[in-house]
């Protein structure tokens, strides 16, 4: 991926963040997923009074891509407010291992501070399909 492509994906995640529904935490997150077909799918966090029904931005974007028939996820950008780039939560990491095991995850704060990790680095020794064989 070129830096221009990474910048574009992060920009999409920032725009998605604007649509977040976060009345309880006040913590808005946006995500964008780049697929092997070149399509970009975005998502934002959507909270619920029953916290277990909340869905993170990363999962929304991934689920949108998969539900549209995408099978190869190349990169996931995640944007949130904070002093540092905010990493995905544990549930999102588990979903990434399942749906995007080879993807690169770019985490960014609103000021543009970024970190880049592979999904494998974010969740080493993960419980995955192979664990059930």
Annotated catalytic residues are 58
> How many angstroms separate the CA atoms of 121 and 133, rounded?
22
* Closest of 92, 110, 103 to residue 70, by C-alpha: 103
Q: By three-state DSSP, how is residue 1 classified? A: coil
Q: What is the rounded CA–CA span in Å between residue 56 and residue 68? A: 19
Tokens (6 digits) for 27: 């913590």
């Amino acid at each position: 991926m070129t830096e221009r492509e990474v910048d574009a994906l992060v920009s999409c995640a920032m725009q998605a963040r604007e649509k977040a529904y976060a009345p309880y935490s006040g913590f808005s997150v946006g995500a964008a997923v780049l697929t092997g077909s070149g399509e970009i799918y975005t998502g934002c966090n959507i909270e619920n009074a029953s916290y277990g029904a909340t869905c993170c931005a990363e999962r929304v974007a991934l689920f949108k891509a998969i539900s549209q028939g995408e099978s190869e996820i190349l990169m996931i950008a995640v944007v949130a407010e904070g002093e540092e780039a905010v990493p995905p939560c544990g549930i999102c990491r588990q979903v990434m291992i399942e749906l995007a095991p080879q993807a690169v995850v770019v985490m960014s704060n609103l000021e543009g501070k970024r970190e880049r990790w592979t999904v494998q680095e974010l969740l080493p020794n993960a419980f995955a399909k192979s664990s059930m064989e």
